[in-house]
A = this chain, B = another copy of it.
Amino acid sequence: MKKIIASILLICSICVAFAQMPPMGKVEYKTMPSKILKQDREYAIYLPKSYSTNPDKKYPVLYLLHGGGGTHTDWPEKGRLTDVINPLIDSGEAADMIVVCPEAGKNFMNYFNNPDWMYEDYFFQELVPFIESNYRVVADKKHRAIAGLSMGGGGTVIYAAHHPELFSAAYSMSGYFYRHDNLFWINFNDPVVKKVHQLVEDNNCVKYVKNADKTKIEAMKTVKWFVDCGDDDFTFKANTEFVLAMSEAGIPYQFRVRDGGHTWEYWHTALYIALPFVSNNFRN
C-alpha cells in the first residue's frame, strides 16, 4: 500500500514540476477555410516560447511539408519537432521562428495542381496569406523558407522553383523528385495511383532544372538550396541527378549524404541541420 502511495506521490510531484516549468515553444493543431479546395483545411503551427510573452515581435516562417500518405501531425509527432527546435532556439543555433505544417495528405495526396485538386494554388493563394494575416510574421522573402520530406521534398523544390521570389531557403529531405517505376509496392495500373504519379512526373524537378531558361535559372540562384538524402534511400539516385542538374545549371547548393534510408529517424535528425540552415538565411 505504501508502495502505491509512493508511486502516486512521485507521479503527482512530476505533474507539479511540469506545471511550474518555464514556458516552451509548442505546436497547435488548427483549421482554416479554403475556397479553392472547397473545404476546411487542417494545419499544425509551432509558435516559439517568446510568441506569447513578446507581443510586438514578428517572426520568420518555415513551411515544413510532410511526405506522401502523411498528414500535418507527422512533423510534430513522428518527427518530434519541438524536441529539436526548442533547444536549438534556446542555444541560438536556430532563430526564433514559426513553423507551419500544412495538410496535403488527404483526398488527392499531392502538392501539385490538377483540375480536381488545385493544391499548389491553395498553398500560395490561401495558406501563406492566411498565416501572414493571422500570425505575427515578417512577410518577405528573406524571412520565409520551405522544407519537406519525400513527396514534400519534391514539393519543396518545385514550390521554391516556381516562386523563388518568396523563399530565401529550400531544404529537401529524401526528395521523391519523379515517378519511380520500380517500386514494387505501388500498383501503377490502378487509375488513381496512375493519376497521382502522373502529376508527380509532370513536376519532375530534375527535368525542370534541365529545361529551365536563363531567367528561371537566375531566379533560382536567389534561393539557398540544401539537398539531404540517405545513402540507403531508394530516392538516392534521383537526388544525385537533381544536384548534378543544379551543378550543370550553375545554381549553388549544399548536398549532404548521411547514413540511412527513407525513415523518420533520418528526417528527425535532418531537423538539426535544416533549422540552423534556414535560420542562417533568415538572419543573414
Contact = CB atoms under 8 A, between A and B. Distances in A.
Interface stretch (A6-14, A40-48, A126-134): A6-14
A84 B265 contact: yes
Interface string A213-238: 00000000000100000011000110
A123 interface: no
Interface string A161-203: 0000000000000000000000111110011110110000000
A31 interface: no
A220 to B, nearest CB: 17
A232 B257 CA distance: 13
B259 A259 contact: no
Contacts of A258: 256
Interface in A62-100: 68-69, 80, 83-84, 87, 90-93, 95
Q: For chain A, give the interface size range.
A: 35 or more
A244 interface: yes
B231 A237 contact: no
A4 to B, nearest CB: 9
Contacts of A108: 3, 6
A224 B185 contact: no
Interface stretch (A152-160, A204-212, A275-283): A275-283
11 contacts: A7-B69, A9-B190, A13-B185, A90-B232, A92-B224, A254-B259, A256-B257, A256-B258, A276-B276, A283-B283, A283-B284
